[in-house]
Amino acid sequence: MDVAGLLEALREAGQTVATAESVTGGGVCARLTDAAGASDVVRGGMVVYAWDLKTSLAGVSKELIAERGTVDPDVTRLLADNARARCGADWGLGLTGVAGPGPSGAIEAGTVYVAIAGPGVREVEALRLPGDRGEVRAGAVAAALRLLWEHLRPVSR
């Protein structure tokens, strides 16, 4: 993914992005801020690895987490929504999953949810990523950046 190109597309659209990440531990925000000029369009990010931070920082209800667990499409969608709202960004990205090496309860390693919230967009992708812990996390970062790029392309044309 050409991160500089992604940032330029955000800049041209006059839009910003924020993240709320669990499985990637801030990896999406780190990739976005690798490129010079990121401060023009990256509002910030929340690393909400612990379940209680998903509630206190990212605004996901305790009831939803108790009912569904933390690796869930609806939880991930709310992470994207609340990254957008709490950071004052046009786009929010949310990520949850199990990087491995083994499963987390009944959820297999490599299970990842990536969500995006933005102007007229609110969706979540379920992924089954192969590889070791590092490869799963890298794949999740790449998937989030791709999802943002896919929604930005029509805006930046």
The CA distance from 52 to 49, in Å, is: 9
Mean pLDDT of the chain: 97
The CA distance from 14 to 155, in Å, is: 10
* pLDDT of 14 strictly over 70: yes
Q: What is the mean pLDDT of residues 17-44?
A: 98
The CA distance from 19 to 28, in Å, is: 7
The CA distance from 108 to 120, in Å, is: 32
In the chain, the domains with their CATH numbers are 3-156 (3.90.950.20)
Could you report the per-residue pLDDT of 56-104, keeping only the tens digit for each? 999 999 999 999 999 999 999 999 999 999 999 999 999 999 999 999 9
Amino acid at the residue 31 = R
Tokens of 21: 């990440």
pTM for this predicted structure: 0.96
Q: How confident is the model at residue 155 (pLDDT cuts 50, 70, 90)?
A: low
Strands 17-21 and 42-47, bridge-based pairing: parallel
Asked if residue 124 lies in contact with residue 73, where contact means CB atoms within 8 angstroms, the answer is yes
